């Protein structure tokens, strides 16, 4: 993976040169790569994911991509749903998430392959978007609840343990950010605001958050099997 940067006016793009060069139907590196209208006009939008950010699934030729704009939630959304405080390019959420995803991907951990991140500077604020490769046939763990086999839940727990052993503090570990592909392999997505940390109390906080998420989907009992696999 070869990360490179480019700039067009107020737009800064961090991208994997191999991913973008290999794409057959994607626009050239630049703002149009992150413009949903360009993809729709080309007839390359093949689906849309639920959620605050309204991620789009894109036909990039040999593979599909996920285009996810950054959207605020909670109280901050009352001020702006799309703008974040500018404190420097490398501290933007999009650049940090892409670099972290690339680092984990290169270490062989099951995360989507990153493609590109875009940051548009607006004085004191910025807007951003991220593109990753779509995992074929993947469904959120939440969609498989209840009724998931205990052995598969143990595999989920073992996968979470791999990330924790690598030092990843996933601040939003929930049943929608754990994916199961067509072969029941487990993937972890949405690394926004996540970071690599030294050992501490944070792994248990991650697991407790996952437990609360499972309870919301009426599958609190699934956490026992996940903890077995984790151990």
What integer pLDDT is reported at residue 25 of this predicted model?
75
What integer pLDDT is reported at residue 150 of this predicted model?
96
pTM: 0.93
CA distance 103 to 48: 27
Name the burial class of residue 30, with classes exposed (0-12), middle (13-18) and buried (19+) by CB atoms within 10 angstroms of its CB.
middle
Q: Which one, of 206, 207, 213, lies nearest residue 174 by Cα? A: 213
Per-residue pLDDT reduced to its tens digit, 93-108: 999 999 999 999 999 9
What integer pLDDT is reported at residue 51 of this predicted model?
61
What integer pLDDT is reported at residue 146 of this predicted model?
85
What integer pLDDT is reported at residue 77 of this predicted model?
47
For residue 159, report the phi and psi dihedrals to the nearest 5 degrees. -70, -45
Q: In sequence order, what E strands does the chain have? A: 3-8, 11-16, 45-48, 56-59, 64-69, 84-85, 114-122, 125-133, 139-140, 168-169, 178-180, 186-188, 195-196
Answer CATH for 139-230 from 1.10.510.10, 3.30.70.380, 3.40.50.720, 2.30.40.10: 1.10.510.10
Per-residue pLDDT reduced to its tens digit, 211-230: 999 999 999 999 999 999 99
DSSP label of 28 = P
- What is the rounded average pLDDT for all residues in the chain? 93
Per-residue pLDDT reduced to its tens digit, 49-96: 876 557 999 999 889 999 999 998 655 545 668 899 999 999 999 999
What integer pLDDT is reported at residue 24 of this predicted model?
76
Q: Determine whether 184 is an active site residue.
A: no
Per-residue pLDDT reduced to its tens digit, 119-153: 999 999 999 999 999 999 999 999 999 889 999 99
Per-residue pLDDT reduced to its tens digit, 156-204: 999 999 999 999 999 999 999 999 999 999 999 999 999 999 999 999 9
CA distance 169 to 194: 6
Active-site position among 172, 183, 184, 192: 172
- Give the list of residues 6+ apart from residue 168 with CB closer than 8 angstroms, or none: 104, 109, 191, 194, 195, 196, 197
């Amino acid at each position: 993976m070869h990360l490179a940067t480019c700039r067009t006016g107020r737009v800064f793009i961090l991208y994997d040169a191999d991913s973008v060069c290999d794409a057959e139907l994607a626009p050239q590196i630049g703002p149009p790569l992150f413009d949903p209208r360009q993809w729709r006009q080309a007839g390359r939008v093949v689906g849309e994911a639920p959620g605050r950010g309204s991620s789009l699934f894109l036909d990039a030729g040999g593979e599909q991509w996920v285009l996810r704009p950054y959207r605020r939630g909670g109280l901050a959304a009352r001020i702006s749903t799309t703008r974040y405080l500018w404190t420097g390019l490398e501290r933007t959420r999009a650049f940090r998430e892409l670099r972290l995803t690339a680092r984990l991907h290169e270490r062989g951990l099951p995360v989507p392959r990153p493609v590109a991140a875009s940051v548009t500077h607006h004085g004191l604020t910025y807007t951003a978007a991220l593109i990753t490769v779509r995992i074929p046939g993947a469904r959120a763990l939440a969609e498989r609840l209840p009724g998931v086999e205990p052995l598969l839940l143990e595999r989920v727990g073992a996968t979470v343990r791999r990330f924790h052993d690598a030092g990843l503090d996933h601040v939003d570990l929930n049943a929608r950010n754990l994916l199961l592909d067509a072969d029941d392999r487990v993937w972890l997505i949405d690394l926004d605001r996540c970071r690599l940390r030294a050992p501490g109390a944070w792994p248990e906080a991650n697991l407790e958050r996952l437990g609360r998420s499972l309870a919301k989907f009426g599958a609190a009992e699934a956490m026992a099997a996940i903890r077995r696999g984790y151990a």
